[in-house]
Amino acid sequence: MNLSVKRINAIFQKDLKDISKNIFVLSTVLIPFLFAFLYGRQGDVPLEVQFLIINIAFTAVGAFVQSAVIAEEKEKNTLRGLMMSPATSSEILTGKSLLSAVLTVVTMIVCLSITNYVVTDPIMLLSMIIALIFFISLGTLVGLMTKSLMEASVVSVPIIFVFGMGRMFQELFQGNKLVMIFDYLPNVQLEMLASQITEGASFAESLPYLGTILAWTLISIIVTVIVYNKSTLDA
Amino acid sequence: MEEIIKVDSLTKFFANEEALDGLDLSIHSREIFGFLGPSGAGKTTTIKLLTGQLLPTSGSATVFGVPVKEVNSPQHLKKIGVMSDNSGLYERLSIYENLKLYCELYQVTTDRIREVLEMVNLIGEEKKMISKLSKGMRQRVVLARTFLHKPNLLFLDEPTAALDPVNSEQIHRGLRELNQNGTTIFLTTHDMREAETLCDRIAFLNNGEVQLMGPPKELQRQYSNGNIRLELKNGHEVEVQNNKEGAQKVHEWMSSGELVRIQSHEPTLGEIFVDITGRKLI
């Protein structure tokens, strides 16, 4: 598979210029900052809250911004132009994902520095990188399956609730079997992994959590690629 | 001449509705081919099928000898330029920024931007935001983007539909220049003058079927009734047949100094279309 860095960078640079003038999408980036400021002022921030902020950054920035940029390309018929250019599917998808990835990483670094959380464990860091890929892939999927920026925004709301604040729902509906499924969500697995690592879990003990996040990521990438390839054809 | 597009019995159904019915076509290298027909005749469907944006229901088609299913692969898309009714631009970016992206995607230098802007009469406008442009200007930017990589084959869906006569003429000059440099052009149009002056061959499409195909002048001759139109001093216009009787009448008017103008009377492409289909080209 040949990837042209020049083409990927061209799409990234274009998105960067475009989003700097898109107030609607940029405003969602403020949500995790808001949470970080609110909780950061209260002194010691518990691990659950740290992960609430991390997961909101993943969903509101990673997934939402990604779904918005893809949905807008579809709405304005510019995605068709990219598809009809010599850029490969991998170049287009990578180029289109870079902006949300960079924005999420920057948002997370700033937010976690406000709440004083430092990720030092390599397994934890790897899991967060894999989770980032999952959320961007999820955003791409939402963008591809919706017809407009507005529709993508509406669909993103439950995603932000489930994947961003799933842990809060678990606590609200304790004992409900349906909510137990939430345990296997990548965001909850990420928090569980962090908790295990804090308690001194070994590499082997961390693997099931990492494996679950990886499985979510691989499935979402496969589904996204299938949907993208289908969208190269008109209905 | 090398065959660039070959279409055999191509059929396309949308649900139960037939959009194309056994289309046969052969387009050669360096040809400007015009596809004429009323709205819904199947012109855009044909372009989408030939550029791999749609899959045919039956029949086959090749572009550069490659089945259309494989045409939308990067190595073939390098040689093709497509301007369709749904070609979009980035509204929050300038004309230059939109074109620069495509220069990088096609890996051509940004020097080419000036050349294509000249072709579409947009020199000096490059800093303007797309959101501030009129429909006609946007169309010219899309055309400029389509010309950027000097494609071997251009598909243009009504390229001058929203343009005034001056800009249409400028686009025609640009298309002729590309064609002289080796680009084969497949265009759809409603504009009979565009078809007459620009195309080497045209095809009339109606209800998904090609009704008539050939060079415009030849078709006009073929459908001409052979009459000659005369304008007389008293302001009347008369038609005489191209035979002995007609020649006698012309001689009489010439001798008496009544004749002002004499011209052959050939049907327009629009009239030919109405003649063979009973429909107007709108």
DSSP helix/strand/coil, B3? strand
Residue B248: count of CB within 10 angstroms of its CB: 11
Q: Judging by DSSP bridges, how do beta strands B237-240 and B228-232 pair with one another?
A: antiparallel
Residues B112 and B81: beta-carbon distance below 8 Å: no
Nearest Cα of chain A lies from the Cα of B155 at a distance, in angstroms, of 12
> What's the confidence (pLDDT) of residue A171?
72
> Which of B84, B88, B104 faces A6 most closely, judged by CB atoms?
B104
Q: Which domain holds residue A174?
A: 5-234
Half-sphere exposure of B40 (CA within 13 A, CB side): 7
What type of residue is B149?
A: H
**CB burial of residue B111 (10 Å; 0-12, 13-18, 19+):** exposed
Q: Give tens-digit pLDDT for B122-169.
A: 999 999 999 999 988 999 999 999 999 999 999 999 998 888 888 899
DSSP helix/strand/coil, B254? helix
| Distances from the Cα of B33 to the Cα of B186, B199, B216, B236, B270, angstroms | 5, 5, 10, 39, 17
* Contact call for A78 and B88, based on CB within 8 A: yes
Q: What is the pTM of this model?
A: 0.87
Residues B31 and B200: beta-carbon distance below 8 Å: yes
> What's the confidence (pLDDT) of residue A25?
84
> Which of B55, B75, B93 faces A18 most closely, judged by CB atoms?
B93
**CB burial of residue A200 (10 Å; 0-12, 13-18, 19+):** exposed
Nearest Cα of chain B lies from the Cα of A23 at a distance, in angstroms, of 11
Helix (H) or strand (E) holding A234: none
Nearest Cα of chain B lies from the Cα of A83 at a distance, in angstroms, of 8
What type of residue is A5?
A: V
Phi then psi for residue A70, to 5 deg, are: -70, -45
ipTM of the prediction: 0.88
> Which of B55, B84, B90 faces A78 most closely, judged by CB atoms?
B90
DSSP A45: P
Q: How far apart are CA A203 and CA A225, in angstroms?
A: 32
Is A83 an interface residue toward B (CB < 8 Å)?
yes
Is A105 an interface residue toward B (CB < 8 Å)?
no
Please state which CATH number belongs to domain B3-220. 3.40.50.300
Closest CA to B148 of A147, A10, A227, A224: A10
* Contact call for B105 and A86, based on CB within 8 A: yes
> Which of A4, A6, A77 faces B86 most closely, judged by CB atoms?
A77
Q: Judging by DSSP bridges, how do beta strands B259-264 and B228-232 pair with one another?
A: antiparallel
In chain B, the percentage of residues whose pLDDT exceeds 90 is 57
- In chain A, the number of structural domains is 1
Residues B190 and B157: beta-carbon distance below 8 Å: no
Phi then psi for residue A71, to 5 deg, are: -60, -40
Q: How far apart are CA B44 and CA B175, in angstroms?
A: 19
Q: How far apart are CA A154 and CA B41, in angstroms?
A: 38
Q: List residues of B whose CB lies inside 8 A of any A CB.
A: 48, 51-55, 72, 74-75, 77-78, 80, 82, 84, 86-93, 97, 100-102, 104-107, 145
pLDDT reading at B116 higher than 80? yes
Helices (H) and strands (E) in chain A, counts: 13, 0
Count chain A–chain B contacts defined by CB atoms under 8 A. Answer: 76
> What's the confidence (pLDDT) of residue B282?
59
> Which of B55, B77, B100 faces A85 most closely, judged by CB atoms?
B77
Distance linking the first and last C-alpha atoms of chain B: 33
SS (H, E, C) B8-56: EEEEEEECCEEEEEEEEEEEECCCEEEEECCCCCCHHHHHHHHCCCCCC
* Contact call for B90 and A14, based on CB within 8 A: yes
Q: How far apart are CA A121 and CA A223, in angstroms?
A: 30
Is A1 an interface residue toward B (CB < 8 Å)?
no
For the packed helices A5-19 and B95-106, what is the interaxial angle rounded to 10 degrees?
160
Is A17 an interface residue toward B (CB < 8 Å)?
yes
> What's the confidence (pLDDT) of residue A1?
62
Residues B258 and B234: beta-carbon distance below 8 Å: yes
* Contact call for A84 and B88, based on CB within 8 A: no
Judging contacts by C-beta atoms under 8 Å, the chain A residues touching residue B55 are 233
DSSP helix/strand/coil, A207? helix
Q: Tokens for A159?
A: 């995603």
Cα–Cα–Cα angle for B89, B94, B97, rounded to 5 degrees: 85
Q: How far apart are CA B161 and CA B168, in angstroms?
A: 9
Q: Give tens-digit pLDDT for B239-259.
A: 888 888 888 988 999 999 999
Residue A3: count of CB within 10 angstroms of its CB: 12
Phi then psi for residue A54, to 5 deg, are: -60, -45
Question: B281 falls in which pLDDT band (50, 70, 90)?
Answer: low
Nearest Cα of chain B lies from the Cα of A11 at a distance, in angstroms, of 7
> What's the confidence (pLDDT) of residue B107?
94
| Distances from the Cα of B26 to the Cα of A162, A229, B273, angstroms | 56, 29, 21
Judging contacts by C-beta atoms under 8 Å, the chain A residues touching residue B75 are 86
Question: B5 falls in which pLDDT band (50, 70, 90)?
Answer: very high
> Which of B53, B84, B106 faces A233 most closely, judged by CB atoms?
B53
pLDDT one digit per residue (tens) for chain A, 235 residues: 678 999 999 999 999 999 999 888 889 999 999 999 999 888 888 999 999 999 999 999 999 999 999 999 999 999 999 999 999 999 999 999 999 999 999 999 999 999 999 998 999 999 999 999 999 999 999 999 999 999 999 999 988 888 888 777 777 777 777 777 888 899 999 999 999 999 988 889 999 999 999 999 999 999 999 999 988 887 6
